[in-house]
Amino acid sequence: MLAASVGDRLIIRGHRVGEPERDAEIIEVRGPDGSPPFLVRWSGDGHESLVFPGSDAFIQHFDRQET
């Protein structure tokens, strides 16, 4: 099971050759103990959705830069 914290980055691999990875910032963890589902904000256009990670997903710590 993937566990995450608010601020981590969710990455979904491309499903076809040449298709880029998609990534989103986790803004809320809905499951117990960091488990899915996650409410995320997609980096492309800022849209939010729930994500239930599958075999195509992994979590990276979101390296936020102070401004």
Partner 1 sequence: MQTISRLHRSGIGVEPERTIADVAKLMNSSGVGAIAVLDDDRLVGLVTDRDLVRRGLARDLPVDARVDSVMTSPVVTIEADAPLHDAVATFARHALRRLAVVDAHRFVGIVSLDDLLLDLSDDLRSLTAPLAAEVAAPQRDSPLPVVN
* 60 near partner 1 (CB under 8 A): no
* 32 near partner 1 (CB under 8 A): no
Pairwise CA distance, residues 55 & 48, whole Å: 21
The sign of the CA dihedral 42, 45, 50, 53 is negative
Kindly tell me which residue out of 24, 25, 26, 29 binds partner 1, with binding defined by CB under 8 A: 24
For the chain, the straight-line distance linking the first and the last C-alpha, in angstroms and rounded, comes to 33
Kindly tell me which residue out of 20, 32, 65, 67 binds partner 1, with binding defined by CB under 8 A: 20
Residue 23: other Cβ atoms inside 10 A: 15
* 56 near partner 1 (CB under 8 A): yes
Q: Which residues bind partner 1 (CB under 8 A)?
A: 12, 14-15, 19-20, 22, 24, 36-37, 42-45, 47, 49-57
